[in-house]
Amino acid sequence: MSPVGAIVRKELRTYFVSPVAYVVASVFLLLTGLLSFLAIATASNRSMQMLRVQGNLPELNLNELVFRPVFYNMAVILLLVVPILTMRLLAEEKKLKTMELLVTSPVTITEIVVGKFVEALTVFFSSLVTRMRALVSSCSEGEVIRVSCLPLSRTAVSGLVMPY
């Protein structure tokens, strides 16, 4: 096993044994779920208002009304969540007084940094994939409103990579 893989495995085990990953993921999912609900409620109210004004079923772009605000809000939430995930990476080593052992081991600094980065990225993507799965499943359960997945995926990527 490579040194990076060993560091990633050790850090993932440490993360998921302690409640830190579960608390951060649940707060992230709770906040994004609440903001998703509010965006859907706002889109529903707009749809009803347009129905009253036009008298027929309006054609709405759900990517603009629901998904874009959700992903913009998710980007702001991630500005708070990602530092919470990453700030314990080296602080935990210093607290447990294993930093000297890690630095003097036959592993380069680059391998240590890459291993800790991959671990934080794995924890981050696991909570992000959970949220995406919830958004796509709530999108696909609707009978009246149909959304194609291609614009949804483009909105997801553009909302997370370039929020503004």
- The model's confidence at residue 9, banded by pLDDT at 50, 70 and 90, is very high
Q: Is residue 142's pLDDT more than 70?
A: no
Tokens (6 digits) for 34? 């609440």
Q: Which helix (H) or strand (E) holds 68?
A: helix 68-86
In the prediction, which pLDDT does 85 show?
Answer: 83
d(CA 121, CA 117): 6
Q: pLDDT tens for residues 72-95?
A: 888 888 888 888 888 888 888 888
Residue 162 — pLDDT band, cuts 50, 70, 90?
A: very low
- 112: helix, strand or coil: helix
What percentage of the chain has pLDDT greater than the value 70?
Answer: 79
Nearest to 82 by CA among 114, 122, 132: 122
Instruction: With CA atoms as reference, report the closest residue to 159 among 81, 76, 75.
Output: 75
Q: Which residue has the higher pLDDT, 130 or 144?
A: 130
Q: Are 128 and 157 in contact (CB under 8 A)?
A: no
